[in-house]
Amino acid sequence: MALDTIKSSVEELLPLITKQYDNECRLVTATCTDEGEEFRIIYTFDDSLQLINIEITVPKGVTVPSITGTYLCAFLVENEMKELFGIPIENIAIDLGGRMYMTDGMKSNPMARHAKELMKEEG
Amino acid sequence: MGGITVPFGPQHPVLPEPLHLNITYEDEKVVSLSPSIGYVHRGIEKAAEINEYTQNMFLVERVCGICSFMHAMCYCMGIEKLMNIEIPPRAAFLRVFYSEISRIHSHLLWLGLFADAFGFESLFMQYWAAREKIVDLMEMTGGHRVILSACAIGGVRRDLTPEMVKIAEQTLWDLKIELDRLNPVILKDYTVKKRTVGKGVLPKEDALILGAVGPMLRASGIAQDIRQTGYLVYKQLGFEPIVEQAGDSYARGIVRVKEVYQSIELALQVLADLPVGECAVKVRGNPNGETIERVEQPRGEVMYYFKANGSKNLERLRIRTPTFAHVPALLKMLPGSSMSDVPVIILSIDPCISCTER
Amino acid sequence: MAIMIPTLIKNITSRPKTRLYPAEERTLFPGSRGHIEFDSEKCIFCSLCEKRCPAKAIVVDRKTKTLVFYPFRCIVCEACTEACTKSAITLKEKWRSPATTKGIEILQETKTADGEQDVFSYDY
């Protein structure tokens, strides 16, 4: 069974998010999966107990805009995605600089599929 | 001129788990703050991809100690949805019984810590003595005192005998009488009111946009509770959420006190209506597809995202716990309050940091 | 002052809520999860319990017929008890006492001159 999502792209992401804000939806969270060549990010909203999913597919290396301009509560989940998966996200309202979960000296992104090559480089 | 920055550090007597906030004060009033988490990160989402899907249930139970049954229940409900398994009616009623017992346990623990936060240690000890009755009930029915391990894919692992049902009903009645003696201290005491009324207000317009869930949302005037969607047998039992309008720490305390009474009634109703039958079905095969599942935990709404591809291992498991959604809400609640009120306000969101940084 | 007198009398005359441990021990409920024990007579070394264990506390070698159990890794979840087809694993209610070193338990099946013999040894 598949999820029913609204498919969108990186360019059209911010207007769609503003539309959810105008409808008074609550942001639940953002989920990221690694599909090999690209990342797939799903933003989940709740509109009086009904779920609305917005999905974007991002090739590796492309920058994603941050949604903290409208939903300030997303800063924690965007910091986590940036640190654990390595997605470059710009303009996060409170940016903890990749040191939220991992300490100094650890450079690889543990959840991404290319983590094994990066860990071999570090030794 | 700029103020002084005082860390509300990882170790603090009020906090049960480590959380770090850099708070800037000016004339002893909070101006701004910057949160940072990451002291108990264990990498559970990565470990869930390495284990088989049957072993994951024991891993996911240990994300949090207090809401552990609901984590296991949400995981099992998601896997059952992916594999099209239908659980027997007796198992659904027993899952609701264990959920409500967990909710009573969590709220009694929070009430004790709340009393301890403003120095009222004897009330803290009395609430935890009342909590001992519930913990003994959990050991008698489930097996362990805190991490129940009572849920399985396809039902529940243990059944209740008729003697256990009688003892459970008697325990819940005794607990209600004990709480009628203790709750007026929290609700009507002059000192408690002075320290909590009007402090840490989360206004109604901001609560939804900042992503608050559970008792925090209901204390600000918005009636939203995932149990209203009617999963398991809640539609049959009839359920209305408890709402308060003020949005301060006192309102959050009242919502949790009233929820304990509501949970005792729901548990007694479930025990009276238990149907006869088996308590689990056999499971064969592997899950395939993706889905989202939500359950109401004591602290709020928890969301699980599953992605499976037909093999014994899950491809991705994402967990979003309620305290993860409450830490950004502190950015609006704390500015403007005075330095001595900060610990009580932070404790009133019911922080469970090991859930936040699985 | 008058409000305190009933509370005072109740506190003086009621039983204490604590228990004088270790003189008085707690009665355990039947079925509460203490620790698990292996029966060396019934085990056939099929390694089903090793596949189900979430904590990697059981290691089975089928060729040499050896089973090694690490009791300090065990989380007492009963997954192995439910998986064993010969009922060789039982659950006991008493909790394990603390120890200064993490020992292991070994089950082995050895063949002697007059038939097979099962040996159970532990090393704490």
DSSP assignment string, B304-350: EEEEEESSSBEEEEEEE-HHHHHTTTHHHHSTT-BGGGHHHHHHTT-
Instruction: State the pLDDT at residue B128.
Output: 92
d(CA A6, CA A14): 14
pLDDT per position as a tens digit, B58-109: 999 999 888 899 999 999 999 999 999 899 999 999 999 999 999 999 999 9
Cβ-based neighbour number of residue B296 at 10 Å: 24
- CB-based burial label for B333 (10 Å; 0-12, 13-18, 19+): buried
Q: Report which of residues A109 and B280 the model is more confident about.
A: B280
Cβ-based neighbour number of residue B162 at 10 Å: 8
Q: Which residues of B touch C80 (CB under 8 A)?
A: none
- How far, CA to CA in Å, does B247 sit from each of B196, B215, B327, B346? 11, 10, 16, 14
Q: Which residues of C touch B157 (CB under 8 A)?
A: 78
Q: Is B59 an 8 Å CB contact of chain C?
A: yes
Which residue of A31, A48, A71 is in closest CB contact with B209?
A71
Q: Which residues of B touch C31 (CB under 8 A)?
A: 140, 143, 158
Q: Which residues of A touch B210 (CB under 8 A)?
A: 72-73
Report the percent of chain B where pLDDT is more than 70.
100
CB B66 within 8 A of CB B55: no
Q: Report which of residues A96 and A123 the model is more confident about.
A: A96
Which of A4, A42, A46 is the best mutation test for B, with the most CBs of B within 10 A?
Answer: A46
pLDDT per position as a tens digit, A4-41: 888 888 888 888 888 888 888 888 888 888 887 888 89
d(CA B179, CA B134): 13
Residue B225 has pLDDT above 70, yes or no: yes
As a whole number, mean pLDDT of residues B17-36 equals 88
Q: Which residues of B touch C95 (CB under 8 A)?
A: none
Q: Is A111 an 8 Å CB contact of chain B?
A: yes
Which residue of B59, B143, B158 is in closest CB contact with C54?
B59
As a whole number, mean pLDDT of residues A47-75 equals 87
| Residue burial A34-70, b: 16+ Cβ < 10 Å; e: rest | beeeebbbbbbbbeeeebbbbbbebebeeebebbbee
Residue C121 has pLDDT above 70, yes or no: no
Cis status of the peptide bond prior to B298, with omega within 30 of 0:
no
pLDDT per position as a tens digit, C98-119: 888 888 888 777 666 555 556 6
As a whole number, mean pLDDT of residues B294-299 equals 92
Identify the structural domains of chain A with CATH numbers, from first to last. Answer: 6-122 (3.30.460.80)
Average pLDDT, chain B: 89
Structure tokens at A97: 């600089």
Say what angle helices B162-188 and B121-141 make with each other, to 10 degrees.
160
B291/A3 Cβ within 8 A: yes
Least confident segment among A25-39, B41-55, B302-316, C14-28: C14-28
CB C109 within 8 A of CB C118: yes
Residue C24 has pLDDT above 90, yes or no: no
CA-nearest residue of chain B to C33? Answer: B143
The DSSP call for residue B93 is H
As a whole number, mean pLDDT of residues B296-322 equals 90
Domain locations in chain C as residue ranges: 29-123
Compute the nearest-CA separation of C41 from chain B (Å): 27
pTM of the entire predicted model: 0.91
B303/A28 Cβ within 8 A: yes
Residue with the two structure tokens 């004088």: C20
Residue B49 has pLDDT above 80, yes or no: yes
Compute the nearest-CA separation of C100 from chain B (Å): 25
d(CA B46, CA A40): 17
Structure tokens at C92: 């006991």
Q: List all chains that touch chain B, counting a touch as 3 or more CB pairs closer than 8 Å.
A: A, C
Topology (CATH) of C29-123: Alpha-Beta Plaits (3.30.70)
A76/B38 Cβ within 8 A: no
Amino acid identity, residue A62?
Answer: V
Instruction: State the pLDDT at residue C114.
Output: 53
Nearest Cα neighbor of C67 from C34, C101, C109 is C109
Cβ-based neighbour number of residue C48 at 10 Å: 15
Non-local CB neighbours of B207 within 8 Å, separated by 6+ positions: B216, B217, B220, B221, B222, B247, B329
Sign of CA dihedral C25, C28, C32, C36: positive
pLDDT per position as a tens digit, B184-205: 888 888 888 888 898 888 888 8
Instruction: State the pLDDT at residue C6.
Output: 80
Banded model confidence at residue B142, pLDDT cuts 50, 70, 90: confident
CA-nearest residue of chain B to C91? Answer: B143
As a whole number, mean pLDDT of residues C48-69 equals 88
Residue A112 has pLDDT above 80, yes or no: no
Instruction: State the pLDDT at residue B176.
Output: 93
Residue B52 has pLDDT above 60, yes or no: yes
Non-local CB neighbours of B120 within 8 Å, separated by 6+ positions: B192
Residue with the two structure tokens 């039902």: B155
- How far, CA to CA in Å, does B305 sit from each of B45, B82, C83? 11, 11, 28
Cβ-based neighbour number of residue B163 at 10 Å: 9
Cβ-based neighbour number of residue B26 at 10 Å: 12
Structure tokens at A5: 């999502």
Instruction: State the pLDDT at residue A123.
Output: 44
Identify the structural domains of chain B with CATH numbers, from first to last. Answer: 41-356 (1.10.645.10)
